[in-house]
Structure 1
Amino acid sequence: MEITAATLLLLLLGLSCLVVHLRGKGQRKRGCLPPGPRPLPLLGNLLQLDTKDMAKSLLMLSERYGPVYTLHLGPQRMVVLCGYQAVKEALVDQAEAFSGRGDLPVLFRLTQGNGIALSNGEKWKVLRRFALQTLRNFGMGKRSLEERIQQEAQCLGQELAHTQSAPFDPTFLISQAVANVICSIVFGDRFDYQDGSFLTLVGLINQNAHLYSSPWGQMYNIFPGPMSCLPGPHNRIFENFEQLRQFVLERVKMHQESFDPNCPRDFIDCFLLKMEQENQDPLSYFHTETLVMTTHNLFFAGTETVSTTLRYGFLLLMKYPEIQARSQRSPAPDRACPCCLRDQPRCQAALPPSGTNVLPLLFSVHNDPAQFKDPATFDPAHFLDPSGGFRKHDAFMAFSAGKRVCLGEGLARMELFLLFTTVLQRFTLTPLVRPEDIDISPLMSGLGNMPRPYEFRAVPR
């Protein structure tokens, strides 16, 4: 059943009245909140935001209210951090206080706080430490994993060669190559690009990545109660997730049947070994459902983020052919995941109350004119020293910062470098339109920035 935007808005208004009534004054906590736009009853500041380009809307508000401001998304209140200094002060200088994971209702409904992505406290610390050590044991940052990625890069090159310079949409092919890297670590093996289960898996991941950032996905995060009762595309998120969960669960069962505690083959085996070691501990965090959720977290995050970056990178290289000719690297993805205050720290003269959702805008760090000369221009020179060598920029936070920094950063950096360079060494990426006509603005901007669909020709060098 189709539902119009006007009908949806009326339903949300009506149902939200009940939410606001139940929360009442109990939602308000004492503390010093920074200034922000005046919210409307029930809607908060939604009418001041463009749900198709949240990033632009949030930056525009920061120009008026400063780098730290309060925003109301429907009945939910959060503090927004914009620019390098504000984000660094919170995530780096007060890392422990800002280490909690904030509310993302659409993801919480999927995980119930299980797994590594949305857990908090001691459970999160234990699972993160285990995941990080296991990834390192399987080669993250080492030569062995580099060789594995190089093999996948060669497979990607072969698939590009099969296009015979004909126009094609690279979305699915790139996702397959990236997914296979994380598959080799998590599941112990890669998939053939024509494997039916693998094609379904990648399709579900790509679709959910778009749905998370769509206006429907954003509205669910703002009004989870009413939206859970309404029809719409957002319900496909949960249907897709259940298929993904079943896929991972089947892989776990296959591993259990052939499990050898003396010879763990991959991440799942290592987790099963930990479950066996702690099976008498009633307080253990290592259970089958935690394994399924953590594996899904790693697989989804390790696939969606890197593949989106590669698609953006190829698009930028075609828009700036002179840079493609020099085979320079491209930037990594931005994220704006909310965190939550565990304590009550000071943040640029404001003292948000404990439990306040905080939204650090990582993309604003990379658009900060105080850190980058002409940040709106794609300029790899931002990351080169005078001699032309690479230098790490303090304001480069594509993988977040502080306690919640991406645990797969080393893997992602290696994948991006090897996949980019392998493709560029073998092919010239040729757009179907003039470079100046290429639109690099996001198709949608929510949980992540999603590039617009495009086609190109991979012409052998």
Structure 2
Amino acid sequence: MLALLGSLASALWVEFHLRSLLLGVVVFLFFVDFRKRRRPKNYPPGPWSLPFLGNFFVLGFEESHLVLQKFVKKYGNLLSLEFGDLHAVTVSGLPLIKEVLANQDQNFVNRPKTPIRERVFKNHGLIMSNGQEWKEQRRFALTTLRNFGLGKKRLEERIQEEAHHLIEAIEEEKGQPFDPHFKINNAVSNIICSITFGERFEYQDGQFQELLKLLDEVTCLETTKWCQLYDVFPWIMKFLPGLHQKLFSDWEKLKIFVSRMIEKHKRDWNPDEPRDFIDSYLREMTKHTGNATSSFHEENLVCSTLDLFFAGTETTSTTLRWALLYLAIYPEIQEKVQAEIDRVVGQSRQPSLNDREHMPYTNAVIHEVQRMGNIIPLNVPREVMFDTTVAGYQLPKGTMILTNLTALHRDPAEWATPETFNPEHFLENGQFKKREAFLPFSIGKRVCLGEQLARSELFIFITSLVQKFTFRPPANEKLSLKFRMGLTISPVSHRLCAVPRA
């Protein structure tokens, strides 16, 4: 009996110690979490956050940029959010956005280092690199893009040629319902591919179609809850199955494609006659041979090329898909665009960039598509480089900055009918009017380096397509403006009829 009581006492003592130990661990973790969350007294306000998770579940995953607007109304134009160890502040309203991205851009020029970006790109490339590396890579990319036609007639002719190929591909549908998604992706991608890889890909090329599907997949996957959980708990999530593992696998396949293109270039490379971005980069690498601190190395070549390929495909093609969808839903606006095309261009020649200044209504429609499409609702994130004060609030070094373009592009103080597709927003007395509150390409030192190319592509592709076709909903089908969340906001899958114009 005494032995039994002794065993029981011993078991209770062990359990007590285990509970005490567990309680101690929990208390310690909460203390560490509390210490990490300590912010300055005049830090921007925000919603209550959970320990460890922060505001992870507050915004949701399907319409996070719209849910955010409710908190902006409650807490103001500088709003703080917490995602695990990541401290973020959203900036709303044109004056504050200009203050952060233009007036004080030297304090906000960096990109934040998120676990997913570090794993995939190791902070190399054009989009997520920082400091001297970013300056060198951006300067080189801009110079090389200009060398291969950016802002010149030959690149415009290349876009016109690709628009002709796209028209031929759409003609094969014979006015029947079809999904325009990957035809448009292929056409837009061929422009940046001709600059980076020196070649275009046929719309029937099965291997390239698979590549475009990989691009589309990573665009969707990166904003899923699995991948966001990885950014909050990378040390745990890297061991668990889930969509984040699929994301890493897809990115690796895309990097392998770029690496193979680089190896192909090396086999017949002539440093005196660069054919494209890869050739030019290989030549730049030879200038830095033996320099261990140089940012011009093969890993950066892969990442920079992939950045150009991804950004040069996804953003413009998504905007084009929104454009055709809006024109099909608003036939009276499509008719006005066609009337302007017929008057300025006619049917005997292809539209050119010189026509743009004579086509204010078409130009206004394109800008309104970008405003309403709102494809990058919170801009590409920035990071506070030094402790900085904005609007009286203290923003500590390392805070992520999200620019609230959704609120800006739907601000009733800036737009007469903010929730309605209305090209008149960009017209004044029949002439095209620039709007300061229109920032789809961002502003400041990190402004989109492909802005000029994207504007040229949008104008030539849209005018060329609407010149030849009238886009309509399929019979007995209702088109929707519902969207799919991802790195960009894109239309949900849909079909259109492209009826040839007489």
TM-score (norm 2): 0.84
Residues 450-461 of structure 1 aligned to structure 2 (within 5 Å): 450-461=490-501
State yes or no: 1:447 paired with 2:487.
yes
Aligned counterpart, 2:390: 347
Aligned counterpart, 1:430: 472
State how far apart, in whole Å, the 2-side matches of 1:119 and 1:17 are.
38
Per the TM alignment, residue 83 of structure 1 is displaced from its structure 2 partner at its CA by: 2.5
Residues 348-427 of structure 1 aligned to structure 2 (within 5 Å): 348-386=391-429, 388-427=430-469
Residues 1:126 and 1:151: Cα distance change in structure 2 (over 3 Å): same
* Among 361, 372, 375, the residue aligned to 1:334: 375
Q: Percent identity?
A: 41
Amino acid at match of 1:458: A
Deviations 1:354-413 (A, max 9, x none): 111111122221111222112111111111221x22222111110111111110001111
Amino acid at match of 2:101: L
Preserved CA contact (<8 Å) 1:310 1:420: yes
* Among 66, 74, 99, the residue aligned to 1:56: 66
State how far apart, in whole Å, the 2-side matches of 1:208 and 1:16 are.
36
Preserved CA contact (<8 Å) 2:116 2:231: yes
Equivalent residue pairs, number: 444
State how far apart, in whole Å, the 2-side matches of 1:411 and 1:198 are.
22
Aligned counterpart, 1:324: 334
State how far apart, in whole Å, the 1-side matches of 2:388 and 2:198 are.
43
Preserved CA contact (<8 Å) 1:16 1:42: no
State yes or no: 1:94 paired with 2:104.
yes
Residues 1:265 and 1:325: Cα distance change in structure 2 (over 3 Å): same
Per the TM alignment, residue 430 of structure 1 is displaced from its structure 2 partner at its CA by: 0.8
Residues 30-179 of structure 1 aligned to structure 2 (within 5 Å): 30=40, 32-179=42-189
Residues 1:130 and 1:288: Cα distance change in structure 2 (over 3 Å): same
Aligned counterpart, 1:290: 300
Per the TM alignment, residue 31 of structure 1 is displaced from its structure 2 partner at its CA by: 6.9
State how far apart, in whole Å, the 2-side matches of 1:413 and 1:83 are.
25
Preserved CA contact (<8 Å) 1:115 1:294: yes
Preserved CA contact (<8 Å) 1:32 1:353: no
State how far apart, in whole Å, the 2-side matches of 1:142 and 1:170 are.
29
Aligned counterpart, 2:3: none
State how far apart, in whole Å, the 1-side matches of 2:32 and 2:283 are.
45
Partner SS for 1:99: coil
Per the TM alignment, residue 95 of structure 1 is displaced from its structure 2 partner at its CA by: 1.2
State how far apart, in whole Å, the 2-side matches of 1:297 and 1:124 are.
13
Per the TM alignment, residue 255 of structure 1 is displaced from its structure 2 partner at its CA by: 1.0
Per the TM alignment, residue 182 of structure 1 is displaced from its structure 2 partner at its CA by: 0.5
Aligned counterpart, 2:261: 251
State how far apart, in whole Å, the 2-side matches of 1:27 and 1:276 are.
47
Per the TM alignment, residue 457 of structure 1 is displaced from its structure 2 partner at its CA by: 0.6
State how far apart, in whole Å, the 2-side matches of 1:31 and 1:192 are.
59
State how far apart, in whole Å, the 2-side matches of 1:318 and 1:217 are.
35
Amino acid at match of 2:136: V
Aligned counterpart, 1:4: none
Preserved CA contact (<8 Å) 1:16 1:226: no
Per the TM alignment, residue 207 of structure 1 is displaced from its structure 2 partner at its CA by: 1.2
Partner SS for 1:46: coil
Amino acid at match of 2:245: N
Aligned counterpart, 1:314: 324
Partner SS for 1:234: helix
Residues 1:298 and 1:18: Cα distance change in structure 2 (over 3 Å): farther
Amino acid at match of 2:422: D
Amino acid at match of 1:370: A
Preserved CA contact (<8 Å) 1:51 1:218: no
State how far apart, in whole Å, the 2-side matches of 1:168 and 1:211 are.
25
Residues 1:345 and 1:134: Cα distance change in structure 2 (over 3 Å): same
RMSD value, Cα = 2.2
Per the TM alignment, residue 80 of structure 1 is displaced from its structure 2 partner at its CA by: 0.9
Deviations 1:263-287 (A, max 9, x none): 1110011101100111132221100
State how far apart, in whole Å, the 2-side matches of 1:143 and 1:81 are.
39
Which structure has the larger Rg? 2
Residues 1:346 and 1:274: Cα distance change in structure 2 (over 3 Å): same
Amino acid at match of 2:465: V
Residues 225-240 of structure 1 aligned to structure 2 (within 5 Å): 225-240=235-250
Aligned counterpart, 1:7: none
* Among 189, 201, 226, the residue aligned to 2:199: 189
* Among 236, 242, 251, the residue aligned to 1:241: 251
Amino acid at match of 2:258: V
State how far apart, in whole Å, the 1-side matches of 2:323 and 2:167 are.
16
State how far apart, in whole Å, the 1-side matches of 2:30 and 2:487 are.
25
Per the TM alignment, residue 17 of structure 1 is displaced from its structure 2 partner at its CA by: 10
State how far apart, in whole Å, the 2-side matches of 1:182 and 1:453 are.
24
Partner SS for 2:445: helix
State how far apart, in whole Å, the 1-side matches of 2:384 and 2:99 are.
13
State how far apart, in whole Å, the 1-side matches of 2:212 and 2:59 are.
31
Per the TM alignment, residue 27 of structure 1 is displaced from its structure 2 partner at its CA by: 6.2
Preserved CA contact (<8 Å) 1:334 1:363: no
Preserved CA contact (<8 Å) 2:80 2:88: yes
State how far apart, in whole Å, the 2-side matches of 1:41 and 1:26 are.
10
Aligned counterpart, 2:213: 203
5+ residue gaps, structure 2: 1-24, 338-361
Preserved CA contact (<8 Å) 1:94 1:345: no
TM-score (norm 1): 0.91
Preserved CA contact (<8 Å) 1:213 1:448: no
State how far apart, in whole Å, the 2-side matches of 1:16 and 1:420 are.
58
Preserved CA contact (<8 Å) 2:126 2:304: yes
Tell me whether 217-226 or 319-328 shows the greater mean CA deviation. Answer: 217-226
